[in-house]
Structure 1
Amino acid sequence: MLGVHDDLKRVVRRALELSPFDFGVTSGKRTAKEQNALFKNGASQLDGYSRKSRHQDGCAIDFVVYDENNKVTWGFSYYEQVSWAFKQAAQELNVPIVWGGDWVSFKDGPHVELDKRFYS
């Protein structure tokens, strides 16, 4: 969480308290080089140079959800349920966020970012 915007850190901490499932942050602030490596591996649509990620300015995190057996899960329904905790936390703290699972063209369930309309 080093380099992640303080408002997003507050949302993450509160979401952990509210979430029906445990989760862990797997990525926070990234360098352009780190972002580009993800792009080259097909894990991101943003190359980090001509198309920057919100991770590069500390305004995004990625997370992983643990299921009922404390095992990592990639089931979208788990991420959807945890997103509700993020959204409630954001509302309580008056911090506008966007969940990647709400995107239309590219569903990114393990991604949360500060709303760029309010955080540039």
Structure 2
Amino acid sequence: MKANWVKACLVLFFFGWLAVVLYKNMLPPDLDEIELADELHPIVAEKKDELIQRANELDIPIIITAGYRSLEEQNKLYEKGRLNTGKIVTYAKGGESLHNFGLAIDFALLNKQGEAIWDMDYDGNDNRKSDWMEVVTVAKGLGFEWGGDWPGFKDYPHLQMTFGLSLRELQQGKQARGQ
């Protein structure tokens, strides 16, 4: 009888411990307790410059429309189409975007008039290939992941480098070291 009571106590202890661990992992991280980036990660910044240069060599001028973004800036973007007028432009609140950790950039093409465009079929260098996809190919070759490859929501202007870290790990304060 005593052995059954010990087993029951151990089982209860285990499930109690498991509940606490699961609960703690479900809580949103307190980003005030970690050191957040305030600019692009140095390797992301270097690869961004290389992307611009290589795209130019293909006669595809591009512009970086976003890089590091503060939590406040991210929250303002999140409010578009929800609390403020306009279309929804992001599904990530402050602290839920790799932009907030200096690990993401967004780009646009520049047309012949020098205007930013997001036309994925545009062929400004007249080589019968999508300039957009040529830039994406270069970006992937530089180590960027492309938001257009995501299984659900597609973020076509978005390029990121995670350095093997998940968003959750970044939110918990792990720093991207790079190669």
* C-alpha distance in structure 1 between counterparts of 2:118 and 2:108, whole Å: 8
For 1:76, what is the secondary structure of its paired residue?
coil
Paired position in structure 2 for 1:64: 108
Kindly indicate which of the two structures has a greater share of residues assigned to strand: 1
* Distance in structure 2 (CA, Å) of the matches to 1:116 and 1:33: 24
- In the aligned structure 2, how far is the partner of 1:67 from the partner of 1:82? 14
Q: Distance in 2 between matches of 1:25 and 1:106?
A: 21
1:23 aligns with 2:62: yes
Name the structure, 1 or 2, with higher relative contact order (CA <8 Å, separation 6+).
Answer: 1
Larger Rg over CA atoms: 2
Unaligned stretches of 5+ residues in structure 2: 1-37, 81-87, 122-130, 166-175
TM, length-normalised to structure 2: 0.56
Pick from 132, 135, 138 the counterpart of residue 82 of structure 1. 135
Contact 2:99 2:105 in 1 (8 A): yes
Quick one: percent identity of the two aligned structures? Answer: 26
Report the counterpart of residue 154 of structure 2 in structure 1: 107
* Alignment gaps of 5+ in structure 1: 91-95
Structure 1 residue runs of 4 or more that deviate by more than 6 Å after TM superposition: none
Q: How many residues align?
A: 111
Q: What amino acid sits opposite 1:40 in the alignment? A: E
- Give the residue type in structure 2 aligned to 1:63: F
- Maintained 8 Å contact 2:63/2:116: no
AA in 2 matched with 1:86: A
